[in-house]
Chain A
């Protein structure tokens, strides 16, 4: 292997590397550039494969054919990029339909997830509020019960006092009229 063929291989490799890098772009114009560079790099590699002697006509014939094909392809792709620009204002190659469907489904799933967390948060809020109101209600009810109990106790006390007072009145009446023993103790326990 001499220096000339080594430099050919190196050049070809470099061209193919750059071309493949360009081929990963999404813009058609860049893709055309990548296509041309890779094609030319491969042509140089075919030349290197045949050796540099003047005898090998086959490599040159193959390279010539490959050049013509790459040229035609580039022209067609440039026309395509132009038409795409005319129609859409860009020259981007679109994503795969199934990819887009999957992406859309993923997006929908994301949204659904968001919705789910929001709903959970809302539900937690509601539950907390409910809990709080229930506690408050309980508290109020307790207070009410307490108040009632107190009221009842007080009324009982009052009744007791009243009864005592009645008893005293009765005794007083009794002492006033000793004759009437049959009179039932009206209002007793009824409270006034």
Chain B
């Protein structure tokens, strides 16, 4: 079983090498390799999830070097869950992007961007898996860097003006937070002489409280930037909407959740007795409220969804802030729901762009009548995001509400109020989109963006004015070719993700029990520490 642990990182990286050897021409072979690797990833991580649930944390010391020197990879219930869900989501988004690529005929002419898109995507998947598996702080940093560097490439792919401009902000924020991460590692190493998480957990308990606080605050800041928690979230709604639809979808679903994962992992494992509750309470409430107010003010669907993303990360931080088994369990359930739902919404936005050429809902109208399929595909995840009863978003939010009420403190009750207001405003934002884009009579919007032709005075030539506001661009940076029919892969991937989110609803009982066990495991770090220490190396 241990042999499986490194595979979610190794397989995609290995596949990237094979892809470069094959060259960009053999598209079918390339497609097959990507799909096969990510499918294998999904199967492997599901097996690991089940094993970790049955027998406790699975630990591998890479290269058989013992813990403080070597690199530990750990699968416990929490990381197993995140790994399984993230591989399923990356697989679906890969399918979607393959289909989008073949639907945009002109995309293949761009050549270079597409030749690097899929390898980079696989590197991103490897980075995400490495971050979830990392058992030491430095390996976590490397995982983050692999993931972020791949994301920088995906963010600026095609090198168009808007992508470069918005990408520069994203990259600089990412690079600055990585520097802070290095600083955190330096401080932790200076204080404890180790970067292995299990060792750190033991040694941090014995160092001076000031040093412990320094490490904790640095780590919170770093992961708050990566997770886009409110005061450090301004970069996200700015940069995400310009990337291609599948890229935005996978970023929105997974990258911020990797930040939240690391935040929860380090706080519960390294600082079990110092929760910094007032700080976390404040940022969680502010993220929720300010994020959703930002969403309500938007006129573009992608920007609106980016702001709801900031807002809903607040729910996950809230679970950590309250810190009971029930709260963490609710946060874990909400994390997997939110990964799936947010990704689906961005994929549906991609489908809307495919049909209408824009995601600006001032221009869209009558989609419920013109494209009932899109209406259904948007409605289910939108209601799930708002937390309407039978859906899994409601189950998770209810768990969080109960945890806040059970905590009973003033802060918890303020958070409870913030949660309710945020859910209500999310519903309002979703209703606004629905009323504008879907429910108006067809033709009431400003309509599709058309190329305006004007004849220049004094010459025969015709100038074509292209509106650049809100026009959708494909993976390679060209304008997408709109059509009334949906490519089968794009539709299939979106439906698969919706079915996944519905499955969370149907099997909410077993999943909630699992997240309860995972949360209990998180709050008892000794299991993790002992599991890592028990596996020695031969060197």
What residues of chain A have their CB less than 8 Å away from a CB belonging to chain B?
23, 28, 31, 35, 38-39, 42-43, 45-46, 48-50, 57-59, 62, 65-66, 69, 72-73, 76-77, 80, 83-84, 87-88, 93-94, 96-98
| Cα–Cα, bound, A69→B238 (Å) | 25
Give which listed residue, A38, A72, A97, contacts B238 with CB less than 8 A. A97
Once A84-B165, A84-B168 are accepted as A-B contacts, the answer to whether A76 and B186 lie under 8 Å apart by CB is no
Contact A76 B234 (CB under 8 A): no
Which range contains the number of B residues in contact with the other chain?
35 or more
The 10 closest A-B pairs by CB, nearest first: A49-B190, A42-B182, A46-B186, A93-B168, A49-B189, A45-B186, A87-B161, A69-B145, A94-B165, A97-B238
Chain A interface SS verdict (over half): helix
Once A87-B161, A87-B164, A93-B172 are accepted as A-B contacts, the answer to whether A98 and B185 lie under 8 Å apart by CB is no
Q: Which residue of B lies closest to A73 (CB)?
A: B175
Q: What is the CB-to-nearest-CB distance from B338 to chain A, in angstroms, rounded to a whole number?
A: 23
| Cα–Cα, bound, A66→B184 (Å) | 13
Contact B167 A39 (CB under 8 A): no
Q: Inter-chain contact count A-B, CB under 8 Å?
A: 86
Give which listed residue, B171, B189, B303, contacts A80 with CB less than 8 A. B171
Contact B182 A39 (CB under 8 A): yes
Give which listed residue, A31, A35, A39, A80, contacts B156 with CB less than 8 A. A80
| Cα–Cα, bound, A62→B190 (Å) | 13
Once A23-B176, A35-B175, A69-B145 are accepted as A-B contacts, the answer to whether A84 and B238 lie under 8 Å apart by CB is no
Q: Which residues of B contact A35 (CB under 8 A)?
A: 175-176, 179
Q: Which residues of A contact B190 (CB under 8 A)?
A: 48-49
Contact B238 A62 (CB under 8 A): no
| Cα–Cα, bound, A100→B246 (Å) | 27
Tell me if B183 counts as interface (CB < 8 A to partner A).
yes
Once A23-B176, A62-B138, A98-B234 are accepted as A-B contacts, the answer to whether A93 and B186 lie under 8 Å apart by CB is no
For the complex with contacts A66-B182, A80-B164, 15 further pairs of A-B residues with Cβ separation under 8 Å are: A42-B183, A43-B182, A45-B186, A46-B182, A49-B190, A62-B189, A73-B175, A76-B152, A77-B175, A80-B171, A83-B159, A93-B169, A93-B172, A97-B303, A98-B238
Would you give 8 A-B contacts (Cβ < 8 Å), ordered by A? A39-B182, A42-B186, A80-B164, A80-B168, A84-B164, A94-B169, A96-B169, A96-B234
Q: Which residues of B contact A97 (CB under 8 A)?
A: 237-238, 303
